[in-house]
Each structure stands twice: as C-alpha cells, then as structure tokens.
Amino acid sequence: MMQSDLELSPIGNCQVSTLVDSEGAFVWGCVPRVDGDPIFCSLLNDNARDRGIWRFELEGQARSSQRYERNTAILITRLEAEDGSAVEIHDFAPRFERSGRMYRPVAYARIVRPVAGAPRLRVVLAPMNGYGASLAETTNGTNHIRYLIGPQALRLSTDAPVGYLLEGRSYRVESDQHFFLGPDEPFVGNIRSEVRRMEAMTARYWQHWVRGLHIPLEWQEEVIRAAIALKLCQHEETGAIVAALTTSIPEAANSQRNWDYRYCWIRDSYYTVQALNRLGALDVLEKYLAYLRNIVDQARGGQIQPLYSVMGADQLHEFEAQHLAGYRGMGPVRVGNAAYKQVQHDCYGQIVMPTAQAFFDTRLLRMADERDFEHLEEVGEAAWAKHDQPDAGLWEFRTRQEVHTYSAVMCWAACDRLANVAATLGKGDRVLHWKQRAEAIRAKIEEHAWSEEGEHYGASFESDYLDASLLQMVELRYLKPDDERFLKTFAAVERDLRRGDHMLRYAAEDDFGAPETAFNVCTFWLIEALALVERREEAREMFEAMLSHTTASGMLSEDLDYETDELWGNFPQTYSLVGIINCAGLLSKPWSEVR
C-alpha cells in the first residue's frame, strides 16, 4: 500500500484528542474540545513543519516504530539513531476516575525514556492560535512554560530543562523526562511520580473498559482498536459523537471536497452506537441518548437537523481558515459545516432506533419511560410528514433535492420501531397507529422506488440511478436477504458501483463531478451484503483486503483511492471503524470453536 500522510494514531480522553504521526509528533489537536482551535495544526499546514507541532527530534535519527500499550489509548513511539541510541515516548491524555467522577482534563501527557546509548534530543513545541494565524506567545518560570492560547493559556510543566526547550537546543537525555501540557495552574505534586501515576491509572481505565466488550473470536485486535477510537470520538460532557477528529482532509486529491467533520451527525452517530452496542459498550449509548433527548427537546415541532455541534448548537456557520494551506497544500480548510441548513429526512429514523432500545434494555441505568415515548412520537410524526418529501439525502448533495429511497426507508423504520415500543408499553391504539403509518410508507416506497424496467430499487423516487445505501435495506429490516427484490438490487449495485475490492457511494456526477475515490463504509456494506447472500468466502477475502489498507494503528479514513490504495478524507472516520466492527462480528468463527 502507498504510504499515506494519514499514517496517524489517535490518543485522547473524550475531552481532547490529538493525532500522532509515525515519528511521535503531535500534528493535529484542538482545545478546549474537538471542535476548538487546533493548537496542533501542522497536518493542515503543508510544509511549515515547525508550526503547530510538538515533536521530539533525536540527533542522528534513523528509524522509528510505534505501538499502543495493549488494550489502551496509550501510544508508545521508539526513536532510534544511527549510533544505536534510542528513546521511547509514551503519549496519552489522562482519563480515570478521581473524587467520584471522571478526570479528563484539557491536557496531554508525554514521558520520554532513554532506552539505549546516550540519546540527544531537541524538543519542538510550537502551538498556534486562531487556526494557524500565529504562534502562541510564551512566558515561563523555572519548571514551566505558559503558552498564551486564546482566552485561556496552557501550561507545560516538566522536569526537562526549560531553557533548552525555549531555545530549541538539543541536549543529552540521561533520565526519564515528563511533560504535562494542561490547564494554566501550578502542577500539584512531584511531576515524575504524578505523571507516572496518571499513566498507570489511564492504562487501567482503558484495560477495564476493553474487558467489558463482547468481541468476536477473530480479528480481536482490529475490533478493540476500532472500538477505542470510536469512544475517543465521543465528547463525554454532552454525549455527542463526532464523525471524525479532523477537518478538510480532501476526499480526493485537489477535489475541493474538504469538509469539517468535527460535529455530531445524527446518522453517523446512529451507526456508531449501533456498532458499539453489538460489543456491549452501553456507556457510549447511554451518554448519546442523553444528548439526543436534549436535541429532541429543543427541536421545533419535531424538526431535526442532520448535524449539531457537540454542545448541541444548531448554527454551524461555514468559513475558510485563511492561514492554513491545507492537507499537502490542498485547501481550503473549512471550519463549520453548511450541511446544518440541509434537509435530510433519514435523521428521524436514526433518532428513533437507538432510543427505542432504552424501552427494552434493562441493563441501562436510566430506561426510557412514557414521557420519553411522547417526545419520540413527535419525531415519528415528523418522519411521517416528511417520508415522501425531497431532501438532500445521506450524501448531502448541495445543489439538488429528490425523494431519496434511503431517507424514506429510515422514515419507515421510525414508524416501525415506534409500533414495537408502543407494544411493550401496552398502548394498543398507538401500535395500530404506527403500524398503519409504516405500511403506508412501505406502499409508497414500493410504488415509487422500484424500477420495473431496471428490476431494482432506485436511489430516489424520481430516477433509477443506484447508490450503495440501498444495501442497507436488509440491515434496517425493511427486506430479508433472500427477498427477490433485494437480490436483484444487490446485483445491480454491485455491477454499477463495485470497483475491484472497493465500492463507490454512487457513480452519477454530483456538485463536484464524478466521485474519484471509494467510500470505505460502502465497501463494508458490500462485504456485509456478500455475507448475507451466502458468499461468505468472498466476503472474508474482501474484509481481509480492507484490513490491509488500515494504518499501522488500525485506523481508516473516509475514502480510498481504488487505483493507488491511498487513504483520503477525514480521519479517523467513525463510519469506517463501524464497518470493521460490524463485518468482524458477522464473519468471525464462533467462540464455540475454541471454548
């Protein structure tokens, strides 16, 4: 596979995160949360490598290698020099229970250990302000440096020589060194013992979280990595889940398809909690349901936007960050996302389906009640009102609207699941009400989406072009996998959209021309469909091929060039990681083979 600039590894604590390159440099990270100002922005700074970065330069460096501490979000990078000297860097964002609540500060911790020879090191820490507008100014004391970032400074507390850091000088590393970049307040306690204690407690937190997952027998490491990364995409304070940690990594070279994904899409979040649910990670679901309840509360007449900020803000004005050149110089770098203004009717089903679980799952700390059902019925009424109305669709077309089949099926699912909930609550009249609505929507879909001529469902009621989301009709229980209409639709989708071991979203031209890259989640949808129609060996081969395209850290971005195998698009992409989890669960040998 072609080496990608996206050979990056995420660390984080569900408050802040950063992406670390293969040599241990922080190249992307925002404060005070994922949609904040990227103090580390060299990933989108083209060739200005010394701006918006935190890296350790080993004199005479010849090699680097990287791994995560097992079942944790703690990253270990080894740098080796030509003379055999070497250091190990342990990177993490503190996350553990303290004083009865989760400690997850706006902070990054780094430990540098000399492990061979007499390594000489230079520390480059150059955070930026205002989306790359300026380097942060500094003040300092004997054991700390303050970086004046926005309204709140960050303080680096360290037992490394502060003078060498400020002057950018290399020096011999003769003992472990500890760095804590966090709130602008005096560091309490001995930095060496405190940072080590934080590392041990953070490791314990992640190891215990992973221990609670129900994972498949095969591909365990891949599933665990994907699950941890998905959890890092949740903003714990509100429960929101972002689509990716980055903005404006192009979907294809020089395509202008550069979007800000640091927001909570109702659709992406539905798929994320569904995948983590299959692993038994109910903590993510519970927090997300609280976020959804707030969204539903503030929705006017049940009207839901496609996306919101992690704090639930509904205005996400889009602008271009003028001071950042973009990924490999391929601007623009966009902040905000104008898709919040779009009409996308699939979101109603994607609110009802995860929320419906809360009426059935007795493991939850807070099960849903009749009042929640009343609020959810408002969402269902919106689904009913909109099921046959034009929208931008799940691919967010900016210049055209049609009645998209996927959106209509999601509206059907909203009504279908509300009937299930009404039944468990003993509300016979509401069961009948929602069943009738679901049946009426189904009749409309069969009448308008099925093409007798092409013998397949079309992507919209107005035309018979195909898109990969039609494969989701089985996942949503709209069709059974042996249904003749599904089999014919699958054959048509595979014929038109499959490119070798990859899948396009659609082949029709959109606002930016014809798509140039495969959409990774669609490839996973193809793999799932292959398994469901009893082509399991082919599905396994394709799944293994997709896993070969992940980064060394087990991550995937949104898109992949199906000719060069290079990763493109925002990173790490929750959709793509969901695909890894779902396909592994579907294709793995059962545990009963080894137990």
317 and 230: one domain?
yes
| 338, 392: one domain | yes
Give me the number of domains the chain comprises: 2
Identity of residue 345? H
- Whether 384 shows a pLDDT value over 50: the answer reads yes
Q: What is the pLDDT of residues 417-476, one digit of tens each?
A: 999 999 999 999 999 999 999 999 999 999 999 999 999 999 999 988 999 999 999 999
281 and 350 fall within a common domain: yes
* pLDDT class of 511 with cuts at 50, 70, 90: low
227 assigned to some structural domain? yes
| Same domain? 137 vs 284 | no
Distance (Å, whole) CA 559 – CA 523:
10
The C-alpha atoms of residue 543 and residue 219 are separated, in whole angstroms, by: 10
The b/e string for 524-544 (b: 16+ C-beta within 10 A; e otherwise) is bbbbbbbbbbeeeeebbebbe
Query: pLDDT value at position 268?
Result: 96
Instruction: Measure the CA angle with vertex 301, ends 296 and 303; round to 5°.
Output: 65
Q: Which two tokens stand for residue 452?
A: 């007798």
pLDDT class of 2 with cuts at 50, 70, 90: very low
Q: Quick check: bond before 32 cis, omega within 30? A: yes
Both 153 and 301 in a single domain? no
CATH number of the domain enclosing 454: 1.50.10.10
pLDDT confidence band for 152 (50 / 70 / 90): confident
Is residue 485 in a domain? yes
Q: Is residue 181 part of a domain?
A: yes
Q: How confident is the model at residue 4 (pLDDT cuts 50, 70, 90)?
A: low
| 1 within domain boundaries | no
DSSP 404: B
Same domain for 440 and 571?
yes
Q: 284 and 171 in one domain?
A: no
Q: Are residues 498 and 443 in the same domain?
A: yes
Closest to 519 (Cα-Cα) out of 246, 243, 252:
252
DSSP secondary structure string for all residues of 549-581: TS-TTS---SEE-TTT--EESSSS-HHHHHHHH
Query: Among residues 148, 182, 209, which one ends one of the domains?
Result: 209
Looking at the structure, tell me whether residues 180 and 249 fall in a common domain.
no
User: What is the model's pLDDT at position 13?
Assistant: 98
- Residue located via tokens 């250990």: 113
Based on the domain organization, do 195 and 256 belong to the same domain?
A: no
The answer to whether residues 329 and 203 belong to one domain is no
Q: What is the pLDDT of residue 132?
A: 97
- The string of pLDDT tens digits covering residues 535-544 is 999 999 999 9
Q: Widest CA span of the chain, in angstroms?
A: 79
What pLDDT is stored for residue 398 in this prediction?
79
Tokens read off for 231: 């959890």
> Which is nearest to 380 in space by CA: 327, 417, 408, 331?
417
**Nearest CA to 473 among 508, 501, 445, 494?**
445
253 lies in some domain: yes
The C-alpha atoms of residue 313 and residue 565 are separated, in whole angstroms, by: 37
DSSP at 280: T
Which residue, chain included where needed, has tokens 């623009």?
A: 332
Residue 373 has a pLDDT of: 96
With CA atoms as reference, report the closest residue to 405 among 482, 465, 452. 465
Cis peptide bond prior to 151, omega within 30° of 0: no
The reported pLDDT for the residue numbered 512 is 64
How far is residue 211's CA from residue 24's CA, in Å, rounded to a whole number?
27
What is the per-residue pLDDT across 55-85, written as a single tens digit (0 to 9) for each?
999 999 999 999 999 999 999 999 999 999 9
Q: Exposed, middle or buried, 97 (CB in 10 Å: 0-12/13-18/19+)?
A: exposed
Instruction: Indicate the angle between helix axes 574-587 and 220-232, nearest 10 degrees.
Output: 150
CA distance 299 to 314: 10
Specify if 592 maps to a domain: no
Structure pTM? 0.97
Which of these three, 209, 238, 255, is where a domain ends?
Answer: 209
Same domain, 484 and 417: yes
For residue 385, the enclosing domain spans 213-587
Backbone angles phi, psi at 183, to 5 degrees: -60, 150
Query: pLDDT value at position 194?
Result: 98
Give the count of beta carbons closer than 10 Å to the beta carbon of residue 402.
Answer: 18
In a domain, 345, yes or no: yes
Q: How far is CA 133 from the centre of its chain?
A: 27
> Given this model, what pLDDT does residue 1 score?
36
Give domain status of residue 2, yes or no.
no
- Of 209, 234, 249, the position where a domain reaches its end is 209
Encode pLDDT of 161-185 as tens digits.
999 999 999 999 999 999 999 999 9
Does position 96 have pLDDT exceeding 80, yes or no?
A: yes
